[in-house]
Amino acid sequence: HLLCPMNTSPHVNPHKSGHGIWEEFSHSFTPAVREVVEFAKQIPGFSDLSQHDQVSLLKAGTFEVLVIRFASLFDVKDRTVTFLGGTKYSVETLRAMGAGDFLTSMMDFSENLMRLGLSEEEMSLFTTVVLISADRSGIENVNSVEALQETLIRHLKGLITKNHTNESAIFTKLLLRLPELRSLNNMHSEQLLAFKVHH
């Protein structure tokens, strides 16, 4: 099994080698990764960063951007996960296939994010704040990344305050999602590494 929802389904072809399995999986997730790159290029100021810092931000943040983009794949009410192929699997089925606590953490995060009821514009601006983070490892010009992130955070705060007059807590709640995304990112890297070690 390959239990990442970025795969078309959790099932892998038993006749395929480790390399073949990875190749099929990468066909499934590559379009989504390309979309993140295109999204980044449209963030005002992103293209003005050094090539090196653009790459570092994308390497570190793509997973987190995808988690926001695909939060709706996790349905806490139904207790199901929809894979990119479009089929829903119950959490129980995935657990029986070997999924662990990380799946539960992903479900919880997605529910909390969706519960905020943000508009598409708000989600998109939040996503830019996630991607443009000066504290990612290997950033050359921390000051420019920081300056850009501050501008984006100011815009996000303005937009949220304008749209949700009685719920000033939403902005704070969103910022609290940032360390959670980091933690999911770290847990997921371990999943990925373990998979690579075994295949």
User: Alpha-carbon distance 90 to 82, whole Å?
Assistant: 9
User: CA 150, 37, 99: angle at the middle one, nearest 5?
Assistant: 95
* Sequence letter at residue 38: E
Q: Which is nearer to ligand HEM, 6 or 43 (CB)?
A: 6
- Applying CB under 6 A, does 99 fall inside the site for ligand HEM? yes
In contact, 5 and 84? CB cutoff 8 Å: yes
User: Alpha-carbon distance 130 to 133, whole Å?
Assistant: 6
Binding string to ligand HEM for residues 4 to 43, with x set by CB under 6 A, is what?
Answer: xxx----------------------x---x----------
Between the two ends of the chain, the Cα-to-Cα distance in Å is: 11
Which one of the spans 61-69, 131-139, 150-158, 160-168 is the region binding ligand HEM (CB under 6 A)?
Answer: 61-69
- Applying CB under 6 A, does 2 fall inside the site for ligand HEM? yes
> Which stretches of the chain bind ligand HEM, using CB under 6 A?
1-6, 29, 33, 63, 66-67, 70, 99-100, 102-103, 106, 188, 191-192, 195
